[in-house]
Structure 1
Amino acid sequence: MSSTTQFLEIPRADGSTGRIAYDDQGTGPLALLAPGMGDVRATFRFLTPLLLAAGYRVVTTDYRGMGESDTGWAEYSSEATGRDLAALLQHLDAGPALLYGNSYSAASAVHVAADHPELLRGVVLAGAFVRDAPANLTGRIATFLISRPLLTRPVWFAWWPNMFPKRPADYAEYLAAVKANLKEPGRTKAYAQMCGGTHSPAEAKLPAAKGSGVPVLVLMGTADKDFPDAVAEANWVGEQLGAPVELLDGGGHHPQVDAPEQVRDLILGFDPQSPAAAK
Structure 2
Amino acid sequence: MSTVTNPGTTQFVQVERPDGSVGRIAYDDQGTGPAVLLAPGMGTTRATFRHLVPVLLRAGYRVITTDYRGLGESDTGWDEYSSAATADDLAALIRHIDAGPVLLYGNSYTAASAVHLAADHPELLRGAVLSGPFVRSLPAPNLVGKITYALMAKPLFTRTLWMVWFPHMFPKRPADYAEMRAAVDANLREPGRAKVFAQMCAGTHDAAEAKLPRAKASGVPMLVIMGTADEDFPNAVDEGRFVAESVNGRLELLDGYGHQPHEETPEQIADLITGFDPAR
Q: TM-score, normalised by structure 2?
A: 0.96
- Cα RMSD over matched residues? 0.9
Measured against aligned partners, the alpha-carbon deviations of 1:30-53 in whole angstroms (never above 9, x if no partner) come to 000000010000000111000000
Structure 2 CA distance for aligned equivalents of residues 179 and 269 of structure 1: 35
Q: Where does residue 107 of structure 2 map in the other structure?
A: 102
> Given the alignment, which residue of 119, 127, 150 partners 2:132?
127
Structure 2 CA distance for aligned equivalents of residues 49 and 80 of structure 1: 29
> Given the alignment, which residue of 251, 271, 278 partners 2:277?
271
- Give 1:258 deviation, angstroms: 1.1
Identity fraction in percent: 68
- Give 1:112 deviation, angstroms: 0.6
Q: Where does residue 214 of structure 1 map in the other structure?
A: 220
Three-state SS of the structure 1 residue aligned to 2:28 is strand
Q: Where does residue 238 of structure 1 map in the other structure?
A: 244
Structure 1 CA distance for aligned equivalents of residues 266 and 138 of structure 2: 26
Q: Where does residue 8 of structure 2 map in the other structure?
A: 3
> Given the alignment, which residue of 58, 80, 83 partners 2:63?
58
Structure 2 CA distance for aligned equivalents of residues 3 and 239 of structure 1: 36
Q: Structure 1 stretches (4+) deviating beyond 6 angstroms?
A: none
Give the counterpart letter for 2:163 in structure 1.
F
List gaps (5 residues or longer) in structure 2.
1-6
Three-state SS of the structure 2 residue aligned to 1:65 is coil
Structure 2 CA distance for aligned equivalents of residues 100 and 138 of structure 1: 31
Q: Where does residue 149 of structure 1 map in the other structure?
A: 155
Aligned length: 273
- Give 1:191 deviation, angstroms: 0.5
> Given the alignment, which residue of 6, 12, 16 partners 2:21?
16
Q: Where does residue 26 of structure 1 map in the other structure?
A: 31
Q: Where does residue 175 of structure 1 map in the other structure?
A: 181
Structure 1 CA distance for aligned equivalents of residues 118 and 148 of structure 2: 31
> Given the alignment, which residue of 199, 204, 208 partners 1:202?
208
Structure 2 CA distance for aligned equivalents of residues 267 and 4 of structure 1: 23
Q: TM-score, normalised by structure 1?
A: 0.96
Measured against aligned partners, the alpha-carbon deviations of 1:218-250 in whole angstroms (never above 9, x if no partner) come to 000010000010000000001111111001111
Three-state SS of the structure 1 residue aligned to 2:69 is coil
Measured against aligned partners, the alpha-carbon deviations of 1:162-206 in whole angstroms (never above 9, x if no partner) come to 000011111111111110000001100000000000100000000
- Give 1:29 deviation, angstroms: 0.3
List gaps (5 residues or longer) in structure 1.
none
> Given the alignment, which residue of 258, 261, 264 partners 2:264?
258
- Asked if 1:67 corresponds to 2:102, the answer is no
Q: Where does residue 197 of structure 2 map in the other structure?
A: 191
